[in-house]
């Protein structure tokens, strides 16, 4: 069984989707630790509620990003994590962290990448006048929201949409593709070939 560490910064609905899938036996992996960089993250409570180790590591405790990421890496190592899932984790990693966990970090992003990278992607899509947006899961590389794409799901944008209404439409799709991507990884069904992720179903 693959061991999963989930990194969060906020409300944790994607984490919840993973926990629920695990409890139904649909994840093919075990969430062994949840790490938050924000003290107020509700995701921490979601983890504790089901008895998963929930650890707070804030940037302010460390002199620089290197030391901060090293502490996160140390915790992930100590839990013998095979896969790192970013479920609403709102920080960039140092290169050293990404090298250590290369091809083993999955992120979920609320746009059809490569469009609308970075924060507030749903608001960016509306501002741009896009008629379709959606969500993507991808492996994490050095550049933000730019690694090989695993899965995507398109969602329509309606004329009266706001960032909030679009976010609400995208979120359940994020939950689905994230759970599915993690399951495929845990079942060893994802192969990265350059920019391309091949799914062996």
Which of 29/110 has CB closer to ligand GRF? 110
Query: Rounded CA gap, 133 and 62, in Å?
Result: 37
Q: Which is nearer to ligand GRF, 28 or 107 (CB)?
A: 107
Residue 109 a catalytic site member: yes
- Straight-line distance from the first to the last Cα atom of the chain, in angstroms, rounded to the nearest whole number: 18
**Active-site residue among 38, 46, 104, 109?**
109
Task: Name the site residues for ligand GRF (rule: CB under 6 A).
Answer: 10-14, 87-88, 108-110, 174
CB of 73 or CB of 135, closer to ligand GRF: 135
In this structure, are residues 42 and 54 in contact, taking their beta carbons and an 8 Å threshold? no
Residue 179 vs 186, nearer CB to ligand GRF: 179
User: Minimum distance from CB of 15 to ligand GRF (Å)?
Assistant: 6
Output the smallest distance, CB 178 to ligand GRF, in A: 8
Ranked by CB distance to ligand GRF, the top (closest) residue is 88
What are the tokens at 88? 């609403």
d(CA 153, CA 131): 14
Least distance from ligand GRF to the Cβ atom of residue 63, Å: 27
Minimum distance from residue 193 beta carbon to ligand GRF (Å):
25
| Residue 128 exposure: Cα atoms within 13 Å on the Cβ side | 15
> Catalytic positions, please?
109
């Amino acid at each position: 069984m693959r061991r999963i560490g989930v990194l969060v910064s906020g409300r944790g609905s994607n984490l919840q989707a993973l926990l629920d899938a695990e409890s139904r036996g649909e994840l093919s992996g075990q969430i062994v630790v949840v790490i938050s960089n924000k003290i107020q993250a509700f995701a921490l409570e979601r983890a504790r509620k089901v008895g998963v180790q929930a650890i707070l590591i804030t940037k302010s405790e460390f002199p620089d990003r290197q030391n901060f990421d090293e502490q996160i890496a140390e915790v992930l190592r100590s839990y013998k994590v095979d896969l790192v899932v970013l479920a609403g984790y709102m920080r960039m990693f140092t290169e050293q962290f990404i090298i250590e966990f290369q091809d083993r970090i999955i992120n979920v992003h609320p746009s059809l990448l490569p469009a609308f990278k970075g924060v507030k992607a749903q608001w960016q899509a509306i501002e741009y006048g896009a008629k379709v947006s959606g969500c993507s899961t991808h492996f994490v590389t050095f550049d933000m929201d730019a690694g090989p794409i695993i899965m995507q799901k398109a969602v329509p944008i309606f004329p009266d949409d706001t960032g909030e209404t679009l976010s609400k439409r995208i979120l359940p799709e994020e939950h689905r593709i994230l759970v599915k991507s993690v399951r495929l990884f845990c079942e060893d069904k994802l192969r990265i070939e350059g920019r391309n992720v091949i799914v062996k179903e």
